[in-house]
Amino acid sequence: MSDDPSQLPPETPVEPAPEPPPPPIPFDISEEFGTAKKNLPPYKILIVGVVALAVVGAIFAFLQRPKTTAVGSIDDIVAVEIPDQNAVMVAINVSFQNQGKKAFWIHSMNANLETPSGTLSDNAASGADFERYFQAFPDLGAHALPPLKLEDKIEPGGSTKGTIIVSFPVNKDGFASRKSLKVDIWPYDQAVPLELSK
């Protein structure tokens, strides 16, 4: 091996040691998104707001509930006992006025008798049967008006009167001691009936 310095391999330069990385920046994600305690108002204000919304919703639902466009009354009631059947046949005179903006078309009619032992219901008889009923029970027709019929049309602002006939499985005394008698007249295009009671 030669001692000639020109024959020696060149020395590799020594690189300086890298600087240590800077310390990480503190980052708390909970601060970024916050907490309910930091972002929401005090719970008392929150409760008051929820209650206020519930009250407004209830008022809106009450005002928007379906209601009938007609008003009326039961004007006269005549009941006759059907012999040997423990039942009565009842002629009910009703009158009502259409206060809506559309015609009131009668779709169906029924009566509900509330007695101390429960409620009984019956659909109104066809007007075509009235004469037969009046022949069998003359008292039934004593105060009867023309039959109120399905498909009758009451124009806006118009009014009508008529009789419906129903029967209930109670005797005449049971009918006389009723709690209430209601007639429901259902129109075609409304969600609630015209309810008359006496």
Q: Is the pLDDT of residue 82 over 80?
A: yes
Which residues have a Cβ under 8 Å from the Cβ of 134 and sit 6 or more positions away? 140, 141, 144
pLDDT digits (tens, 9 = 90+) for 91-100: 999 999 998 8
pLDDT tier at 25 (50, 70, 90 boundaries)?
confident
Of 52-56, 137-141, 170-174, which gets the smallest average pLDDT?
Answer: 52-56
Residue 54: predicted pLDDT? 79
Do the Cβ atoms of 83 and 148 come closer than 8 Å?
no
Q: How far is CA 77 from CA 81, 96, 114, 168, in A?
A: 13, 16, 15, 14
Enumerate the domain spans of the chain: 70-197
Average pLDDT of every residue of the chain:
82
Residue 161: predicted pLDDT? 93
pLDDT digits (tens, 9 = 90+) for 102-158: 888 899 999 999 988 889 999 999 989 999 999 999 999 888 999 998 888 899 999
pTM: 0.66
Please identify, in words, the CATH class of the domain defined by 70-197: mainly beta
